[in-house]
Structure 1
Amino acid sequence: MTLPTTTGWPTGTMRAAAVAAPHVSKILDLPIPAPAPGEVLVQPLRVGLCGTDLELLHGTASYVRDGRAPYPLVFGHEWVGRVVAVAPDAERGTGARLRAGDRVVGHTMISCGDCRACHRGRRNECAALREVGLYGQQGAAAQYLRMPARALSVVPEDVQDAEAMLVEPAVTVLEGLERVRCAPGDRVLVIGTGTIGLLAVQLTARMAGAVDVVGVEDNGLATARRMGARHAFLPGEAPAGHYDVVVEASGAAPAFHDALRCTGVGGRIAAVGVATEPVDGVHIGELVLRGVTVHGIRHGLDQYDRVLKLFQDKALTAEGMIADVLPLERVSDAFALLQDAGRTAPKVALDPSAP
């Protein structure tokens, strides 16, 4: 039951989807987070599920293995929601621009603001980092989520919920393309046709003008072609040594070999997909003698507002990206669909606001 307080901050309990144990997801009744200094309460509207959430479900995620993510874990790090209440001190500080009713996207990484990395402007390297829905911060697969006001970006009115939900993966893609200095005239290859890969195809088609794609699923390859990819290849088919920029977006360990094989002399690789296995047989001499640079892209914490503007300007689209949106109570079905290689689109979402 939810009871309004005099400040507009609800009290009582809420429903939340959680991974209760390896391979077990369930709905929990939890207390609504209480007001806290500098924080706001948000009602999530859409929560995107991704491969990291599957790793949490299977118990293979590094956060689970190293003890940072104990069960039960309320997941959900890709989301859009609506502000319900703002703590009074947040109104006086960093949350002065936030009001009840604002739509917002949340930053996955929440930095402390006090450590050496934060003071150097490298917030994604924060020594006391928390990540929403992963460790140290409740995820968005719930009726309510309490967030620091400083870790929210306001969504423009003409950006749809489906688009705003994709901002989180898109910020990492944009960060990767900036790190490899993707520019007009570059020949670009994107490996992977999941959410990150399709976002990378859209952005590189705009930034470089020429992008090819490697994938394993017909639906993903066809969608990539519609989004601007000139040629679609199966693994091992793309021309060797041909590309100035390669975006490895699949997270499959063997795909790094294909990335290295396809990168030309002086080329740059943005490793965006997170491989959970070692990449065996990589010859460092190839990197050295061909002058290939590899950038590991941790996140794009400073790119949220820029990506929202890209969606607002229709430089990015959610069309063809979302297989289905299911209510919170069907979390098990959502995970099952996410594991279905034959689904029509890469992204599966939950709607915690559905009755």
Structure 2
Amino acid sequence: MNDVTETPTSTAVPARPTREQVHAAPKVLLHDHLDGGLRPQTIVELAAEIGHELPAPDAESLGRWFAESADSGSLVRYLETFDHTVAVMQNGPAIARVARECVEDLAADGVVYAEVRYAPEQHVANGMTLDEVVAAVQEGFDAGMAAAGGRIVVRQLLTAMRHQARSMEIAELAIAWRDRGVAGFDIAGAEAGFPPTRHLDAFEYLQRENAHFTIHAGEAFGLPSIWEAIQWCGADRLGHGVRIADDITVADDGSVELGRLAAYVRDKRIPLEMCPSSNIQTGAASSFAEHPIGLLTDLRFRVTVNTDNRLMSQTSMTKEMFGLVEAFGYTLEDLRWFTINAMKSAFLPFDERLKIIDEVVKPGYAALIAG
């Protein structure tokens, strides 16, 4: 699994793939939030069961409200959307349903492997234990994978909130469940004022346990957040990492100079979990065409493509990848490169990653390219 041999090949100028081809292509997703991907109809039904008041009365108008709130440019209004999704995920059956539907929706979109993250600490308001929350998610994932008939593998990433003080507890939970469906650990939440080093004890514990973890960094805050995540905390991957472009200078003549941090990230092949639609909504990029993913791909960083919050961004892996096709003229070979990058970077054992690449990803793309 050598990066040098898996490079984009769009210089051969083959035809751009259609949306139908992108949908049919096998896709790998590393950055997707469980509480950011609920079906609007499910929210309506679960809210009615518990008497939770929603900002819209039916699924169609609620879906519009989520989209408008996420696109409003107001961080306060964007974060308010999660108040409603988290509110309806406070008991085992509801959490299991959301998890099952998540797998069903990803499988229907052609995703063959996914790591879905959520913060267990946000789902204990009604008395569930952290362990019960993880068990409910796993129940739903197992049901979804069974219904998909082996077409998708899904693993959990347990997230700690960076503004809270439960990261060690969540890290220990991830270790307790790592042979039962949990692939790794993450921290999320506001970057500014809450550096990853506040949770250094959790990251050092995970390293001692030979565990995998990713860190949200370089999305709303700049290079210091990325530097701390990598050099102090030892992150295996960067959640978003879009601001690494701030350490790259492109001259008027097109020549490129990488700063020390950007060069290190590229040299070490540290995966970047890039989420174009979400980055546009949060102001980290102005459009698909202006997203740093184009430059980072040209420079052969370990770029991956992801959804972040499918409900809030009204997106899917097909939509994200096809948006890149339209913006940069990417081909099926390029999408194959993104997909293999992601599968190489997954928190699965090496032999399992290799099997999915060799038996699912490569044959799937080969059939599309040949056909």
TM-score, normalised relative to structure 1: 0.30
Between Structure 1 and Structure 2, which shows a larger proportion of helix residues? 2
Between Structure 1 and Structure 2, which shows a larger proportion of strand residues? 1
